[in-house]
Amino acid sequence: MNSSRLLFHRMRENWNYKYKIIKTVIDWTILIYLVVPAAAITIFVYRSWWIDSPAWIASVPFPLLFAIYFFLLWGSYFKTYIREADIIFLRKNERLMLGLKRGGIIVSYLTEALSAAFLAVLISPLWMIHYGLSVKQLILFFGMWVSLRWLIMAVNGKLNVHLRGWRSLVRSIPVVVGAGTIWWLSYKALQSSSLLSVFIIIILNGTASMLLLKKRFTSIQTFEQDLSIDEKDKNKYTEMIFGLSMDIEKLPKPKPIRKSPRLYSKSNRIFKTRSPRNGFLELFIKASTRDTEYVRGYFQVLGITAVAIFFSPPIWLKITIGAVGVFFLIVWIGSVWYKLIGGHPFTKKYSGKEGYIKGKQIVTVVLLIPFVIICFLNVWILPWIRSLFLFF
């Protein structure tokens, strides 16, 4: 087996692995009722952008567009498709292993270039119709974007991927500052229509990424770092997909041992009145707020739906997305309630009791109220304010 066949075999394994994970989350019912309508709505909205610019784009100045794409620069690595067992088998065949690594790095370069092309096609109607810029400027913009993304990926490949917490944050500050400076210079070069400056930035970013990748590209001595990067990328994707499904049983994440939790450290009572309903409510509040996974999931549902409603032009589409969001949130709340209360060995025997049912109903209503308010603001209040104040 040569290095090209081995690379395509590893890539196929990687895609099959991701496909199996996605199948555990998106069954045929979700595909029919959520994914397919969402795809149809996306196509409809995108077509409407070519006909007429959406109203919300008026409140997005061009510098803000640059800032948004700065946040899309992060979160990826150059993968080499190395496996742990390769230390025994492939290291004996240095030529085969180097061919695999080089092929993986080249594929990563091409994948990011295709991602940039997709993003360019996505915003092209807004770029040309609203901002009045040319296709050449769009190509240069995404040339700068993908070259800087390559550079950030190469820098991340040189850093210790095992660092967590404040150490990882401190280490990332110089990288963010440096990338922000380059991106600001890119904005200035594009604004001044200086083609020479734009080409220099693209070439410098691309060359710097290649220089930083030279050791990984030409040596097998970076095996441990390559393996760590591939495993981190794989685990990140797995956690993201599993996090979408509350029904999949996940292994508990290791947490530092504490003498007492940060919240409710003395396990003090939340409600003065003791009743079965308040008991279930108190148990749910303590269990859910002590785990950031549930808090983050709730705000993710709110944020994603609010953004979708804000960016959708027709009023009927806003109402439809809001209704789908309410349905999805109710299902999500039910899944969390079952995981924390209904499925627990000590409380599931009370699932038919009045206190259990009332507690679940109160939790559902309370968590729906902010969601409904946000939807109401997006659908009716914000358009009304814009009609009164043209500068808003």
53 and 196 assigned to the same domain: yes
215 and 282 assigned to the same domain: no
237 and 280 assigned to the same domain: no
Residue 192's nearest CA partner among 150, 148, 147, 140 is: 140
Residue 276's nearest CA partner among 372, 390, 358, 344 is: 358
269, part of any domain: no
- Please give the pLDDT value at position 117: 94
Q: What are the pLDDT tens digits along the chain (392 aa)?
A: 688 888 899 899 888 887 777 776 666 656 666 677 777 778 888 888 888 877 778 777 888 888 888 888 888 889 888 888 887 777 778 888 889 899 999 999 999 999 999 999 999 998 998 888 889 899 999 999 999 999 999 998 888 665 555 566 677 788 888 998 999 999 899 888 888 899 999 999 999 999 999 988 988 888 888 888 888 777 766 665 555 554 444 444 544 444 455 555 555 667 777 788 888 888 888 888 877 778 877 887 787 777 777 666 667 777 777 888 888 888 888 888 888 888 777 777 777 788 888 888 898 898 889 888 887 877 766 666 555 554 44
Complete DSSP assignment for 193-232: T-HHHHHHHHHHHHHHHHHHTHHHHH-STTHHHHHHHHHH
Alpha-carbon distance of 392 to 379, in angstroms, equals: 16
183 and 109 assigned to the same domain: yes
255, part of any domain: no
- Please give the pLDDT value at position 252: 47
> What total of structural domains would you count in the chain?
2
Mark which of 220, 243, 266 sits at the end of a domain.
243
Alpha-carbon distance of 209 to 54, in angstroms, equals: 37
The sign of the torsion formed by the CA atoms of 225, 219, 6, 113 equals positive
171 CB-near residues (< 8 Å, 6+ apart): 159, 160, 163
213 and 99 assigned to the same domain: yes
122 CB-near residues (< 8 Å, 6+ apart): 46
231 and 314 assigned to the same domain: no
Q: Tokens 């589409």 sit at which residue? A: 317
267, part of any domain: no
Phi, psi of 141 (to 5 degrees): -60, -50
Strand ranges for the chain from DSSP E: none
- Please give the pLDDT value at position 355: 83
85, part of any domain: yes
The sign of the torsion formed by the CA atoms of 161, 250, 10, 1 equals positive
Domain that holds residue 95: 3-243
- Please give the pLDDT value at position 242: 56
Q: What is the pTM of this model?
A: 0.66
- Please give the pLDDT value at position 389: 52
